[in-house]
Every structure is written in C-alpha cells, then in structure tokens.
Amino acid sequence: MDCHHATRLIDGMLDGTLTAPERDALDRHALECLSCRSRIDRLEFVMSAVSDSLGSQTLPETATAAILAATGKERRCAPLRLHSVSMHVAAAALALIAGIFGFVVGRRAVPADGTLTTPQLGIKVSEAVGLTLYRHAEAATWRALGSDSTFCIGDELVSAPGGRAVLRMGDYGLVTLSASSRLAIRECDGTTRIELLHGTLAATLDSPHPPFEVTTPNGLVRALGTDFEVTVR
C-alpha cells in the first residue's frame, strides 16, 4: 500500500466508514510509514480528546432511568433533576435476615404496581442524598430510592452524580454507595454478598460481624476488618 491509498483510508477512519480489513491493512502500512502513523495518532488523539473532554459523568443507563421515571404517569410533578438538592429520608424499619440466620429468599412475583409479594431482605435506607434509583431483579422499572424502599436478592441500586445512599445491613454495619455508582444485592449461602458493578462502595462493619463480601468484575473483597472501600472504574 502506498501513502496515497493510506491517506484515503485515514479519511475513512474519520468518516467512520473504514472496514476491519481496511483498518488492518492501514495498520500494517503504518508499521513502516512514520508519517501515516503520526497522522493516525493525531486523528485518534483528537477524537479521544473531544470524547473525554465533553463526556458525561452520568452513565447513559442512569440518565435513561431518571428520565423515564420523570416521564412516567406516576410523576406529575416537575422533572427530576439529576443534581437536585439533598433529600434526607427517615430510616425504614426492616430487620435484616441474611443467609447465616437461616432466611432464604425465594423467587417472587413483581406485580404491575411494583410491590413484592414475598418476604424481603431487611435492609434499611439509613440516608439518601440526591438521586439514587433502584430496581427489583425481575422488574424493568427503576424507582427513586425512598424511606420505604424494600429490597430482595438480585435488586440493583444506581446513584446519580451528587447522589449517595447509605444502607443499614441488619444490625452489624453500614454500606455507602457513592455518587455515580451501581451495586447489586447477590445471594450467597451463609454470607452477605454485594456486587459492585461500577463506582465506589464503602463499608463500615461492627466487630464482630458475619461474613461479608463485595464482588467486582475483577475480584472478590472479603471483609476481615471493620472499614473498607472498594472502587470499580
């Protein structure tokens, strides 16, 4: 391939019309041609610089959930603001019955109104600042976290930028979901297990505490002490 042909392919990169075989051929040429390599590097730099500098701090799916919640029939008030002023909610009164205490949560139905028909985990919402959404495992609808929110195995929570949720895990600890973060409550026999999907989670546990683990896409964190923080980028 000569540089004239390579230049046309670099233009194709900019246009977004380059095929995979063409990209491979261009890369092979770039191994031997410093000038074309530099042009490719410059193009990739500009594209990534624009993408990164204008990027959103909110995951698209979080924004989607918030916007759909605002367009829903149940919301007649002003649109939700992703960066709203703090909301402090009273703690709910649910007892945590984790696996080690012999409580088993089975599959349950989620009727159209979103209420659950089987016993839920006893997780209290200790504090909620800004906007955090949660979704039951078999539901498609996200809901705004509130003092009366209840949770089951498989449920997910997503916090918006500026949002933070503090959950009381029974009588032995607190889990804080930081802003722009996402977690899921997973079932595990004999141990409470949280899956951190994105962002930061901090745990403050009493001593002693029952087995407590946080899984991430990259590994497992098993609580040995009383305070730790996990971040997934």
Partner 1 sequence: MNDIELVSAARRGDRQAFGVLVDRYWRTVVALAVARLGNTVDAEDAAQETFLSAYARLEQLRHDSRFAGWLLSIARRKCRDAHRMRKRVSDLAQRASDSLVSAALHAPSPNPGLTAEQADIVRGAVAGLSDKYQNVVLLRFMAGLSTVRIAEVLGKRPGTVRVQLHRAYAMLERKLRAFAPEVT
Note the residues at the interface with partner 1 (CB under 8 A). Answer: 11, 14-17, 34-35, 38-39, 41-43, 45-58, 60-61, 63-68, 70-72, 79-83, 140, 161-162
- Beta carbons within 8 Å of 108's beta carbon, 6+ residues apart: 116, 117, 118, 138, 152
Task: Name the residue nearer to partner 1 (CB basis): 14 or 90.
Answer: 14
* Whether the Cβ atoms of residue 184 and residue 195 lie closer than 8 Å to each other: yes
Q: How far is the CB of 85 from partner 1 (least distance, A)?
A: 11
Task: Name the residue nearer to partner 1 (CB basis): 88 or 233.
Answer: 233
How far CA 61 is from CA of 81, 145, 159, in Å, comes to: 15, 16, 11
Q: How far is the CB of 35 from partner 1 (least distance, A)?
A: 6
Task: Name the residue nearer to partner 1 (CB basis): 156 or 213.
Answer: 156
DSSP assignment of 13-44: HHHT---HHHHHHHHHHHHH-HHHHHHHHHHH
Instruction: Count the neighbouring beta carbons within 10 Å of the beta carbon of residue 162.
Output: 18
Task: Name the residue nearer to partner 1 (CB basis): 65 or 177.
Answer: 65
Q: How far is the CB of 89 from partner 1 (least distance, A)?
A: 22
Q: How far is the CB of 32 from partner 1 (least distance, A)?
A: 14
DSSP label at residue 48: H
Amino acid at 72: G
Q: How far is the CB of 52 from partner 1 (least distance, A)?
A: 4
Task: Name the residue nearer to partner 1 (CB basis): 35 or 115.
Answer: 35
